[in-house]
Amino acid sequence: MGFFTKNNDSDAKSQSEFAESEKHLPEVNDLGFVDSSSVDLEDREYYPEYADEYNPAGLAMATAEDKERYRNVRTRPTVAAMLILVCEFAERGSYYGVQGILTNFIMRPLPEGSRTGRVMPGNDGNAGALGLGLKDANALMTDGVSSKPF
């Protein structure tokens, strides 16, 4: 149990190293922002493709000193997160797989001789049923308002 005592030399050493490293950190104001006047940005390299009106030089690249300070988080996603991901991909796949069929069903009229929307043998028509047109088919598929009531 001597490891947890206050007079442990390694604990004092780690505390002094922590205090020493905190002296070099830029000061953070009440809102949580770093005062940029205390940070020397002249000697940094920049990504110019991220330039805008707030950062005319672009996005500053991290230096070796910055990378030492960054927190390194390595973890695997949980089983629950992976199941949610699989369910979301399945939902998106089923939506995009059915979207064309539903659009045709809403847009095109019922083919001759059919009661179900199926094209009968020997007929060159297109499958459909409601015959509302492209405008209403897109409106219904994108949660819009159709011009024709059902």
Q: Compute the mean pLDDT over every residue in the chain, rounded to the nearest whole number.
A: 77
Distance CA(38)–CA(53), nearest Å, equals 21
Angle, nearest 10°, between helix axes 134-141 and 79-107? 160
Quick: pLDDT tens for 29-76.
666 666 666 566 677 888 888 888 888 888 888 888 888 888 888 889
Quick: pLDDT tens for 122-139.
877 788 888 888 888 778
Distance CA(34)–CA(28), nearest Å, equals 5
Q: What is the pLDDT of residue 2?
A: 47
12, pLDDT greater than 60: no
Contacts (Cβ under 8 Å, ≥6 apart) of 45? 60, 61
Closest listed residue to residue 104, CA positions, set 85, 89, 88, 118:
118
pTM: 0.42
* pLDDT classification of 1: cutoffs 50, 70, 90: very low
Task: Please list the helix, strand and coil fractions of the chain in percent, rounded to the nearest 5, in that order.
Answer: 45, 5, 50
